[in-house]
Amino acid sequence: MSAIIDETCLENMQSLLGDQFNDTLEFCLTEFERLENEVKMTINSDLEAATRNAHSLKSNAAQFGAMSLSDVAREIEMALLANEVERAKAEIDNLSEQVVASKSKLQHWLTSSV
């Protein structure tokens, strides 16, 4: 599955953050990985933490236009809230793929927009 990036979100955040945009986006990209890892580490032992991390990943991704990543994180969050843990676990590989693909596209956008 290819990552879907909403460039309008990126442009809006760039306008809002000004000189702080590049550093904030770079930080956000590391957060994608950290939150993905937190979801993976806690999904078998702490559903509340897994849900919270999926929610944070969903929100962070959406703010920076990583829509397909946000969608997968939302699916995991909703499954966990419904206590459908197996359904959430089934999305973990997709989550990992979306983190990698979204980071790649966002980094490319960042370097090509400078």
Domains present along the chain, CATH in parentheses: 7-113 (1.20.120.160)
pLDDT at residue number 88:
97
Which residues 6+ apart lie within 8 Å of 78 measured at CB? none
Residue 10, both tokens: 């990126």
% pLDDT > 90, the chain: 92
pLDDT in tens, 89-107: 999 999 999 999 999 999 9
Residue 69, both tokens: 């990543």
Find the range with the poorest average confidence among 19-23, 39-43, 71-75. Answer: 19-23
As a whole number, mean pLDDT of residues 62-83 equals: 96
The mean pLDDT value of the chain amounts to 94
